[in-house]
Structure 1
Amino acid sequence: MFIDFEGIDGSGKTTLSNLLAARLKRLGYKVAHAREGGELQSPTARRIRELTRDSRLLEMGPRAEFFLNLARDAQQLEEIIAPSLKRGEVCITDRYLYSQLALTAGGRGLKEGALLPACELASQGLWPDLVILVDVDPELARLRKRLGKVQSGRANDTDSRKGLVGAGLAVRVREAFLEQARKDPARWIILENNDQPLRVLEQRLVEAVVARLEGREQPVQRLVPAPALPMPGAPSVDDVEQRFFHALDSLEAREPQLAVWLLNGIPGLPAHQRRLAYAERLPGLVARSLVGLDDDTAWTLREVLAASVPVDVAEGLGFVTSPRSHALRQRLYAQAPAAVLEGLKRQDAPEAWALRERGMRDGHLGAVLLGLAGVDGEESWVVREAGMQRKLYSEVARSLGGLATERADALREVLLKHDRLAVLKSTTGLETPLALGLREQLEKGALKLVLRSLTGVDSPRAWELRERGALQTKEALDSVDGMDDPRAWKLRASAARRWPATVVSSMRGLPLVAETRALLERVISEQDGKLPVLRNAYAVVAQARALEQAGRAARPGVEPAAADMGRQEA
């Protein structure tokens, strides 16, 4: 029997396919997994995959990508799948030709009818007996994928070619998979991986597959575990804190790592109580979740965790600049020099330069450069020159982030031939001729980075690009973070159904006035119970209330409200 797993990146198909293979082996079946342990078993296929993922190949068109992916699957078929089936084994694959149809037709926009003959040629008439679509909310998949990178030490990995297109690609690919399943219900089983423990999903999957292996009828196409019940009543801005933590605690029972990850940057007593509960079990994630927080409880947690997870504590400082942060960075340097040095962005104080000089002496030039973004003194240019001499082109380009000077643009011009994407990232917030030209050049291949580089830019060309990009991917909304402009509000309102979590997060930093409340109410009502939406909504509300509280505290004779104090301080 030939079994194929399909689904968007981060859906969990690799994990579930390997769990199924292990269970079937224990049940006495002879099983071959063409991507055992998450790695393609054909060396040739692995080489081809590297080529299709290479973010430097931005000019690769969708047809070339399609044929390369077909070559990868054809090689897996010839070298691994066909011999396994000939031996009478159960052969499991993690992606097959269905993925190429979903990516190229659904994701890239080519006509499916034109692609089918090539898929038939690559398949040699061999198609799976059973296709398991692991279906998941794309926003949840994205969060799981980011968490996975952090846990495996790949947090700073660059995007693949698919990743550079933006999060909208996963939405379109998922829709294409669901359409394929609808057309062929006898072959496809849909397994939802949104809100159930992995052990439950594994058991349902094994039962369905064994039924097929034994020739028993599968009564339903969609294996849908009972979803967790949301809180009763209509959601509102006033109860978003309660709803967020209710949903988070439900997640914690099945995915504790993700639950802690979703606390990133969330202030207040309820968040700190949950961090304290996991500080011993998941110290690294707890430390990282403190990013940007400057209250007493956050500092106590950092002090407690510094000895065991120094790199994570350094990463979790974010852009906090205070005497406490300087003292902690100095202490952490010996164990986590790179993380400390990279965390010095926009800091031009003597304490920051003392650490940079120490880093230079210790041979950490690359990390020093990465922590120079936003710094424009003469000392910084000496460091950049040293980076150019050492051919650290990507690091030098990223050190130019936020600099709008002629000197910075001249260096960007030199760096373009070495790393266009790093140069593009360095133009975030800028509207220089170089930035405009680079965005136009890379819009097709790196739309995600192009849109994010517009953050804070208020020009007719920027709005035109955002409005065009919002039809394709959520990063158009990322670029209006904190913007209180009629065009930003119009963009949010029009994209609220397509990119709800990002529309909500783009309001962070805005006061909780009627316009903000109305859009928040609309989105959380339409997306009732969706954890990413509730998380971002609570972050918006918590920050707005903290800013309001700070404003009242600054006015003589006005005492902060107790409720607001409870949300802001532990």
Structure 2
Amino acid sequence: MFIDFEGIDGSGKTTLSNLLAARLKRLGYRVAHAREGGELQAPAARRVRELTRDSRLLEMSPRTEFFLNLARDAQQLEEVVAPALRRGEVCITDRYLYSQLALSGGGRGLPMAELQPACELASQGLWPDLVVLVDVDPDLARWRKRLGKLQSARVSDGDSRKGLAGAGLAVRVRESFLEMARKDPQRWLILENNDVPLRVLEQRLVDAVVARLEGREIPVQRIVPAPAALPSEPVTAENVEEHFFRALDAVEVREPALAAWMVGGLPGLPAHQRRLGYAERFPALTARGLNGLDDEPAWTLREVLASTAPAEVASSLSGLTSPRAMMLRERLYAQAPSEVLNGLKRDGSPQAWALRERGIKDGRLADVLCGLEGVDGDESWVVREAGMQRKLYAEVARSLGGLTTARADALREVLLPHDRLAVLRGTTGLDTPLARGLREALADKALKLVLRSLTGLTTAESWALREKGAPLTKEALDSVDGLDDPSAWQLRVTHVSRWPSTAVSSLRGLPLGPYARALIDRALEANPGRLSVLRNAYAAVATARSLATAPARAARSEVDVTARVEVRG
């Protein structure tokens, strides 16, 4: 029997396919997994996969990518799948030719009618007896992928070629998979992996596959959890806190690490209390989740976690330039030099330069460069020249972020042949001839990075790029985070149905006025139980409330100081 697992990146298909292989072996079946442990078993296929993932190959066309992926699957078929089936084994694959149809057709937009004959040729007439589509909300899949990178210390991994297209690619690929399943219900089994514990999902999968192996029919195409109870009242901006934390309770039962990650960056007492509950079990995730928080509870928790998660605490200081932040960096440098140096962006203070000089003496020039973003002056250019001599092109490009001088653009021109993507990342928020030209050149090759580089811009060119990109991917809305501009509001309203969680997250930092409330309510009405929408809506609401009370707290603090001075006087 030939069983193929399909699904978008982060759906859980690799984990579930390996769990199924192990269970079937224990049940006495002879099993071959063509991607056991997540690694393609055919060496030539592994080499081809490296090519298709390499983000430096920007000129690779969708057709070239399709034929390379086709070659990978054809090699797997020749070397692993067909021999296993001839031996009478159950053969399991993690992706097969359906992935190429979904990616190149649904995702990249090539005509399906042109792709299918090529897939038939590559298959030699051998198609799976059962296709298990592991279906998941793309937002949830992205969170799980990000969490997996954090837990495996792969935070600095760059974008793959698929990643450069933006999060919308996964949405289109998922829709293509679902359409293929709809057309061939006898072959496809849809397994929902949104809100069921992994052990339960595994058992349901094993039961369904064993039924097929024993010649018993599966009664339904889609294996789904029991339907969640609908909210008894409409979810709105006013009550989203209650509904979000109720949903978070359910996440904590089945995926506690994900729950700890989801409260990261959320201000306010309810989120802080949750972080306290996670701190002992997940110190690193809890510490990293303090990023962007500058209130007293966050600082207290940093002090508590500094000894057990120094790198993550140092990372959480990014963007903070207070004396308190600098003192903590100085304490953490010996244990987390990379994170400390990376967190010095836009800080040209003597204390920051003292840490940079220490880093250079310790041989950490690359980290110093990464933390030099937005810093000008003679000292910074000496460091950049040293980076060029060492051929640290990507790091030098990052160090130029936020600089609009002719000298910065001249160096970007020099760096372009070495690393265009790094140069593009360093143009975020810049409206210069070079930045505009680079965006135009790379819009069809690295749409996600192009759109993100528009953050903060309100030029005619930036709005044209956003309007063109918004139907394709959510990053067009990411680039209007915190913008209170008529064009930004129009973009949010137009695309909230397609990208609801991103539309509401783009409100973070804005007052909770009538337009913001209406947009949040609209997104929640259409997605009352969708975790990503609940979380991002609550983040926007909690941040607005926190900002609204900050002046009052500051005023009270000033009154208290004045009173103490008067008493002492």
Q: TM over 0.5, yes or no?
A: yes
Q: Is it true that 1:305 corresponds to 2:305 in the alignment? A: yes
CA offset at residue 371 of structure 1? Answer: 0.3
Contact 1:189/1:223, CA 8 A, preserved across alignment: yes
CA offset at residue 495 of structure 1? Answer: 0.4
Q: For residue 414 of structure 1, what is the amino acid of its counterpart?
A: V
Q: For residue 12 of structure 1, what is the amino acid of its counterpart?
A: G
CA distance in 2 between counterparts of 1:192 and 1:104 reads 24
CA distance in 2 between counterparts of 1:347 and 1:239 reads 39
CA offset at residue 317 of structure 1? Answer: 1.9
Report what 1:481 is aligned to. 481
Aligned to 1:327, what secondary structure does the other structure show? Answer: helix
Q: Is it true that 1:236 corresponds to 2:231 in the alignment? A: no
Q: For residue 145 of structure 1, what is the amino acid of its counterpart?
A: K
Contact 2:345/2:372, CA 8 A, preserved across alignment: yes
Report what 1:492 is aligned to. 492
CA offset at residue 558 of structure 1? Answer: 12
Contact 1:287/1:302, CA 8 A, preserved across alignment: yes
Contact 1:293/1:320, CA 8 A, preserved across alignment: no
Contact 1:397/1:412, CA 8 A, preserved across alignment: yes
Report what 2:262 is aligned to. 262
Contact 2:268/2:546, CA 8 A, preserved across alignment: no
Q: Is it true that 1:104 corresponds to 2:94 in the alignment? A: no
CA distance in 2 between counterparts of 1:227 and 1:377 reads 60
CA offset at residue 429 of structure 1? Answer: 0.4
Q: For residue 212 of structure 1, what is the amino acid of its counterpart?
A: R
CA offset at residue 229 of structure 1? Answer: 2.9
Aligned to 2:254, what secondary structure does the other structure show? Answer: coil
Report what 2:217 is aligned to. 217
Contact 1:192/1:223, CA 8 A, preserved across alignment: yes
CA distance in 1 between counterparts of 2:332 and 2:547 reads 31
Q: For residue 89 of structure 2, what is the amino acid of its counterpart?
A: E
Report what 2:356 is aligned to. 356
Gaps of 5+ in 2: 560-569
CA distance in 1 between counterparts of 2:544 and 2:515 reads 13
Report what 1:443 is aligned to. 443
Q: For residue 408 of structure 1, what is the amino acid of its counterpart?
A: A
Report what 2:332 is aligned to. 332
Give CA-to-partner distance per residue, 1:515-561, whole Å, 9 cap, x none.
111111111111101111111111111111112112344568999xx
CA distance in 2 between counterparts of 1:358 and 1:553 reads 38
Please give the residue correspondences for 1:362-511 in structure 2 after superposition, counting only pairs within 5 Å. 362-511=362-511
CA distance in 2 between counterparts of 1:556 and 1:77 reads 71
CA distance in 1 between counterparts of 2:318 and 2:501 reads 22
CA distance in 1 between counterparts of 2:19 and 2:317 reads 37
Report what 1:568 is aligned to. none
Q: For residue 116 of structure 1, what is the amino acid of its counterpart?
A: Q
Gaps of 5+ in 1: 560-570
Q: For residue 318 of structure 2, what is the amino acid of its counterpart?
A: G
Aligned pair in 2 of structure 1 residues 231, 382: CA closer, same or farther (>3 Å)?
A: same
CA distance in 2 between counterparts of 1:240 and 1:329 reads 36
CA offset at residue 310 of structure 1? Answer: 1.1
CA distance in 1 between counterparts of 2:510 and 2:357 reads 38
Report what 2:185 is aligned to. 185
Aligned to 1:253, what secondary structure does the other structure show? Answer: helix
Contact 2:135/2:193, CA 8 A, preserved across alignment: yes
Contact 1:196/1:227, CA 8 A, preserved across alignment: no
Q: Is it true that 1:124 corresponds to 2:124 in the alignment? A: yes
Report what 2:50 is aligned to. 50
CA distance in 1 between counterparts of 2:376 and 2:468 reads 34
Contact 2:267/2:546, CA 8 A, preserved across alignment: no
Identity over the aligned pairs, expressed in percent?
Answer: 72
Contact 1:195/1:228, CA 8 A, preserved across alignment: no
CA offset at residue 204 of structure 1? Answer: 0.4
CA distance in 2 between counterparts of 1:293 and 1:547 reads 12
CA distance in 2 between counterparts of 1:527 and 1:558 reads 43
Q: For residue 72 of structure 1, what is the amino acid of its counterpart?
A: R
CA distance in 2 between counterparts of 1:35 and 1:78 reads 14
Aligned to 1:116, what secondary structure does the other structure show? Answer: helix
Give CA-to-partner distance per residue, 1:352-378, whole Å, 9 cap, x none.
111100000000000000000011121
Give CA-to-partner distance per residue, 1:26-58, whole Å, 9 cap, x none.
111111110011111111000000000100111
Aligned to 1:93, what secondary structure does the other structure show? Answer: strand
Aligned to 1:404, what secondary structure does the other structure show? Answer: coil
Give CA-to-partner distance per residue, 1:125-169, whole Å, 9 cap, x none.
110000000000111111111111111111111100110000110
Contact 1:169/1:473, CA 8 A, preserved across alignment: yes
Aligned to 1:144, what secondary structure does the other structure show? Answer: helix
Report what 1:281 is aligned to. 281
Aligned to 1:250, what secondary structure does the other structure show? Answer: helix
CA distance in 2 between counterparts of 1:134 and 1:485 reads 40
CA distance in 1 between counterparts of 2:151 and 2:181 reads 33
CA distance in 2 between counterparts of 1:227 and 1:319 reads 43
Report what 1:563 is aligned to. none
Superposed CA RMSD in Å reads: 1.3
Q: Is it true that 1:41 corresponds to 2:41 in the alignment? A: yes
> Comparing 242-251 with 291-300, which one deviates more in the overlay?
291-300
Q: For residue 79 of structure 1, what is the amino acid of its counterpart?
A: E
Aligned to 1:103, what secondary structure does the other structure show? Answer: helix
* TM-score relative to the length of structure 2: 0.97
Report what 2:563 is aligned to. none
Q: For residue 293 of structure 1, what is the amino acid of its counterpart?
A: L
Please give the residue correspondences for 1:310-321 in structure 2 after superposition, counting only pairs within 5 Å. 310-321=310-321
> Comparing 217-226 with 550-559, which one deviates more in the overlay?
550-559
Give CA-to-partner distance per residue, 1:183-203, whole Å, 9 cap, x none.
000000000001111011101
Contact 1:492/1:503, CA 8 A, preserved across alignment: yes
Report what 1:137 is aligned to. 137
Report what 2:532 is aligned to. 532
CA distance in 1 between counterparts of 2:284 and 2:18 reads 27
CA offset at residue 295 of structure 1? Answer: 1.9
Report what 1:567 is aligned to. none
